Structure 1
């Protein structure tokens, strides 16, 4: 049995096989062929952090695969009211076939998985957002930017940045990260990615100059400056991130056929301009839809790996 907690746990071949399976199921879906790959299976969806795309994509995805999703917030289960994580894990995994968790601490997710009898999927933690990267790379494939890509990430050194580091280190492409001073990526995660990059041939560059990162890039991506749980820091972050907006002038530095990605929700006029978000290089809504299809591929892959 396999869990999906971080891309670090997966080989290049496994990551690509999950995405290929997602693309296959997407093609079937577009032909209105909803095959019951997970017939009568139940996905428990635990949300300590709310989300539009994560809930809709997982709940729709398990339904299209022939199963059913159970939405469980802190108000619905005892996990948010003092029950030990290990107890909740053993109970829920004895009744459901798979569990998706969207939470704050990576350690909570890992503890839950260690006591679970069924596969556990990371729907987002403060450290990683691996399902989003499956959708992002699927989108890169569909738009012809998966062959020797140069990816520029501009913004906060957060869970999205960490997941890009893992994907680049595993698949062996060039990643350039530009963050404001004081908002760099986690040093231990960076060191881990750099060590893996020695084996895959990945080129990973981190710095503080967004223009330098974007120059010649084939994929430009960013994220919100203040994530959930950082609302009190928002005004300070807006000041600290001045100059890090991905606008038309910065996108003009990228390759002519470059695409723009954003995991959403996006705050127009902060991390990205309206012109870039709605412009011809933006593929953010293809990317958002691919959360559905990439996660269907992941769930079927995990079921087959038991």
Structure 2
């Protein structure tokens, strides 16, 4: 099988993405009923390069490789020559000779693309400043588990037009649902990414109007990693964009709320929202493990039937 990378959701076609979601649900079910007995990747190694901090990403990928029978190798900037100025392509070529796949959590998406261009093993985007596609696999998996097919449904993104918002735009295109983006003026997503989605995605600036009758509401922190110095300004600019229980009341009766976490209670969400039964963020977080197992398996072995 030719080397496949997963840098955005657009790197796989809709059929492959639907396969991944169903495969992740099967892997999760089998794990719960049989335990971690399915080990198709003995002696395989995943290199994990982290230039940004992480809880869910590191734990889920490392656990995924262990449960699949392989090994995950953690590399921070202090642990590799990347932190000392080795060209990205050189590091990529070296790792391609030693490991079976590479997962990268970094700042520059262009840098990730340069790494992938030089790699002869699969490269997975575990977050860049522009996209977070692995989180969307877990999000769509959670939505599908609880409500069935996402086709024809409507989700709303409340908040910053950031990397998560960009991946939700791509998800709407690939999984065939409508997406409403609601953000303060000046915080819109990248216009090229938005335009590529066509009529699949709409943009507004009024949260209470945007949530009317939707199937799912999701958000993220107002200041992402690397934007901490903008925190005070963003808190002021995002006044009125906090997701609350009252906001969910204007959506459909069976609405779901997602958040990629970590959440800042009292900022982008109310203090008590995560305790609401409509918030399914813990299931969503746990699904990172299963969705990423399905992704790793697919990139290394292709589609499987068991």
Query: Shorter-normalised TM-score: what interval?
Result: over 0.9
- Paired residues in the alignment total 299
Structure 2 Cα separation of the partners of residues 38 and 62 of structure 1: 8
Structure 1 Cα separation of the partners of residues 148 and 37 of structure 2: 28
Shift of 1:275: 2.3
Structure 2 Cα separation of the partners of residues 23 and 158 of structure 1: 28
Normalised to the residue count of structure 2, the TM-score between the two structures is 0.95
Candidates 12, 15, 18, aligned match of 2:17: 15
Shift of 1:33: 4.0
Q: CA RMSD in A?
A: 1.2
2:82 is paired with a residue whose SS is helix
Q: Mean alpha-carbon deviation: is it higher for 154-163 or for 268-277?
A: 268-277
**Which residue does 2:210 correspond to in 1?**
213
Structure 2 Cα separation of the partners of residues 274 and 286 of structure 1: 19
**Which residue does 2:301 correspond to in 1?**
304
Q: 1:243-297 CA deviation, whole Å, 9 max, x = no partner?
A: 0000121111110100100000000010011222111100000000000000000
Shift of 1:209: 1.1
Shift of 1:233: 0.3
Structure 2 Cα separation of the partners of residues 221 and 146 of structure 1: 17
**Which residue does 2:262 correspond to in 1?**
265
Q: 1:157-201 CA deviation, whole Å, 9 max, x = no partner?
A: 00000000001011221110001000000011111222xx6xxxx
2:79 is paired with a residue whose SS is coil
Structure 2 Cα separation of the partners of residues 81 and 233 of structure 1: 29
2:22 equivalent to 1:25: no
Shift of 1:34: 2.6
2:222 equivalent to 1:225: yes
Shift of 1:211: 1.1
**Which residue does 1:141 correspond to in 2?**
144
Conserved 8 A contact 1:44-1:99: yes
Alignment of 1:41-190 (within 5 A): 41-144=44-147, 146-147=149-150, 148-190=152-194
Conserved 8 A contact 1:2-1:305: no
Structure 2 Cα separation of the partners of residues 257 and 105 of structure 1: 38
Runs of 4+ more than 3 Å apart? none
1:44 is paired with a residue whose SS is strand
**Which residue does 1:200 correspond to in 2?**
none
Shift of 1:146: 3.2
Unaligned segments of structure 1, at least 5 residues: 198-202
2:234 equivalent to 1:237: yes
Conserved 8 A contact 2:5-2:124: yes
Conserved 8 A contact 2:182-2:207: yes
1:143 is paired with a residue whose SS is helix
2:43 equivalent to 1:40: yes
Q: 1:101-137 CA deviation, whole Å, 9 max, x = no partner?
A: 0000110110000111100000000000000000000
Q: Mean alpha-carbon deviation: is it higher for 43-52 or for 143-152?
A: 143-152
Unaligned segments of structure 2, at least 5 residues: none
CA, structure 1 residues 276+51, in 2 after alignment: closer, same or farther (shift >3 Å)? same
Q: Mean alpha-carbon deviation: is it higher for 33-42 or for 229-238?
A: 33-42
